[in-house]
Amino acid sequence: MKRSDLVRLLESRGCVLIRHGGKHDWYQNPTTKMSQPVSRHREIADTLAKHILKMLS
């Protein structure tokens, strides 16, 4: 999955960017207060993308 598609999905579900890290950006779901790192690679493995979406839903 492309990183831009994953970020677009996260933002459409209400997640917000909370900070930029060294190699990752951290997104948080404001309602559940769960946060997950999203790497800055152009391609993110589908299994990792599914895990990030599951954790932030």
Question: Which residues, 6+ apart, have CB-to-CB distance to 49 below 8 Å?
Answer: 1, 6
The helix, strand and coil proportions of the chain, stated in percent and rounded to the nearest 5, come to 35, 35, 30
Q: Which residues partner with 19 through β-bridges?
A: 26
Residue 7 identity: V
Sheet holding 24-29, edge to edge: 16-20, 24-29, 34-39
Range of the domain at 18: 3-55
d(CA 7, CA 3): 6
Summarised one tens digit per residue, pLDDT across range 5-52 is 999 999 999 999 999 999 999 999 999 999 999 999 999 999 999 999
Is the whole model's pTM more than 0.85, yes or no? yes
What is the CATH number for 26? 3.30.920.30
The number of domains in the chain is 1
